Structure 1
């Protein structure tokens, strides 16, 4: 089972970064690959079970359900319900942690999924670099001004 992963440092406090990324319906504000997000279920998007419908910059759509939102550990886990990605049982986690020495934030994002063997390498690179790594870079830019 593949486990794409990316991490990085964001020049802002963990509390400030968490305020931005914990909004389950807020991806278009900071993630360039997502042009729109609409809640299908879960009015505020802050409750487990909320379902969002994302429109991607390539015109594709992804429907995801919030599985866990843990403010104390600054961690969010979600699963894909429908997608143009050829994956099955995709579950992803995003975590934010303070870097106490600098006041910055360590961000990590990963997933586990099932897919046909022929698709795994391309999907793993797309998720790790094209979504998670690019998303963390976009957060850096968001807070860098």
Structure 2
């Protein structure tokens, strides 16, 4: 099973970063590839909530499947996606860097797809979704609001 993965260190306190990541309906505020995010069911902090994301003409519908404030993890799955994937489940984890006061964030997914598709899907998810999103999350969290 392919497992795209990206991580970043953000020069901000862990609670500040977790506040932005934890808001399930707020991802479009910091992810550069997203035009909008609307909660269709539930709210930002309830497992089972469903969000609808748009990126250009692409539409994604995702369900929050796990939220753990103690471990600072959020897991979601695709309900609808333009990508040729099955059983897509992604997790974002936020952790303190105790030596510096910064925050370590990692984002990964597990999914199934035809072998001919994983050659482009895995680097796409890693670079265009996770790494690009984490870079902008860092910039977003550290700029004044």
**Could you state the TM-score of these two structures normalised by the residue count of structure 2?**
0.96
Gaps of 5+ in 1: none
The size of the alignment, in residue pairs, is 143
CA–CA distance in structure 1, aligned partners of residues 24 and 119 of structure 2: 28
Aligned partner of 1:120 in structure 2 is: 118
Tell me, yes or no, if structure 1 residue 130 matches structure 2 residue 102. Answer: no
Aligned partner of 2:16 in structure 1 is: 16
Cα RMSD after superposing both structures: 0.8
* Offset from partner CA, 1:91-135 (integer Å, 9 cap, x none): 000000000111000000000000011110111011001010001
Aligned partner of 2:76 in structure 1 is: 78
Aligned partner of 1:53 in structure 2 is: 52
* Offset from partner CA, 1:36-88 (integer Å, 9 cap, x none): 1111110x2210000000011x3201000000010111000000010001100
Aligned-pair CA distance for 1:143: 2.6
Check conservation: 2:37, 2:54, Cα contact below 8 A. Answer: yes
Gaps of 5+ in 2: none
**Could you state the TM-score of these two structures normalised by the residue count of structure 1?**
0.96
